[in-house]
Amino acid sequence: MTMENHSIAYDILLPTGVKIDVKCRGGSLPFKEEYLSGDKIPREAKHNFFARQVYDKKLDTDIYLMTHLETPSNRLLPGTKKQKKWILYVCGWVSKERVEREGVYLPRGSLTEQGKTWFTYRGQEIEFYNKNLNGFNTLEDILSISSQDVEIDKNRKGDLNLTSADAIRIVYDLIGRGVLQEKHLNFVKEQIGLVEVVRPILHPNQYFHFLQWLKEKGQITDQEIEKINQILVISLVLF
């Protein structure tokens, strides 16, 4: 295939006929499958896709190959001989169909967590977590990905495309709305193996202020405030 008629939908055509679209993000930090946030609870690593690419039927790639490029502070290519931080992490692959089916679509302005900070997406994104990718033993394994492997992955069912911390936050929210019950919280905690206190998105001081307002309105007692304080003090330390 010549450059003139090469499809923009994929970057590599394997000997097996499988089309690969290579996705790469970069930064000064190495890739980690998990990272610690301010509450010391591991956050699972995720990958991002532009929604318009995933949902575009004209882009006929078969799979996405997810990579991470660790770079020095000066990212000008081709780099210098003294720079030792040009490291490419090959994380795994997933079929386009499974990203479309299982990935979490987040419109522009959606809130997401990164390390100890939060930010809003500037575009329309799909989050897909690293734990749900197909891995490799060696780089040569990429060449052996077959059409049958792709078909199997299309029907594969992955795990949550959320951090464990966000799963707990969602359960708390739905319990408060009367949708779920405490038994669901216990089930989720058992499934994800999380027993630590997940810090809230809002600062604990905002909770303290609201609780004081409720007390002034005669809606909660000192005993109830003390019980809640024991939880919030832990969250305050984590911020």
More confident site: 165 or 228 = 165
Contacts 24+ apart (CB under 8 A), 115-120: 115/35, 115/37, 115/43, 116/37, 116/38, 118/201
Across the range 106-131, mean pLDDT stands at 90
CB–CB of 16/145 below 8 Å? yes
Mean pLDDT of 202-216: 86
The stretch 221-239 carries a mean pLDDT of 70
Mean pLDDT check: name the lowest of 37-41, 87-91, 213-217: 37-41
DSSP for residue 30: P
Query: Which has more pLDDT, 4 or 56?
Result: 56
Torsion from C-alpha of 186, 188, 192, 194, nearest 10 degrees: -40
Predicted confidence at residue 1, as pLDDT, reads 43
Arithmetic mean of pLDDT over the chain: 88
Q: Which amino acid is at 61?
A: T
Task: Tell whether the model's pLDDT for residue 233 goes beyond 80.
Answer: no
Most confident segment among 96-100, 162-166, 196-200, 235-239? 96-100
H helix intervals, 147-221: 147-154, 164-176, 182-192, 204-216
pLDDT at position 35, please? 87
Residues 6+ apart with CB under 8 A from 191: none
Note the pLDDT tens digit of each residue in 131-156.
999 999 999 999 999 999 999 999 99
Within a 10 A sphere around the Cβ of 68, how many other Cβ atoms? Answer: 21
Half-sphere exposure of 75 (CA within 13 A, CB side): 9
Q: How far is CA 209 from CA 154, 175, 228, 232, 238, in A?
A: 49, 22, 12, 12, 18
Look at residue 77 and tell me whether its pLDDT is greater than 80. Answer: no
- Which H/E stretch holds residue 25? strand 19-27
Percent of the chain at pLDDT exceeding 90: 60
User: Using one digit for the tens of pLDDT, what is the confidence trace for 27-45?
Assistant: 888 899 998 887 778 899 9
Separation CA 43–CA 33 (nearest Å): 8
Q: At 235, is the pLDDT very low, low, confident or very high (cuts 50, 70, 90)?
A: low
> At CA 185, angle to CA 184 and CA 190, rounded to 5?
95
Q: Report the C-alpha gap between 221 and 166 in whole angstroms.
A: 30
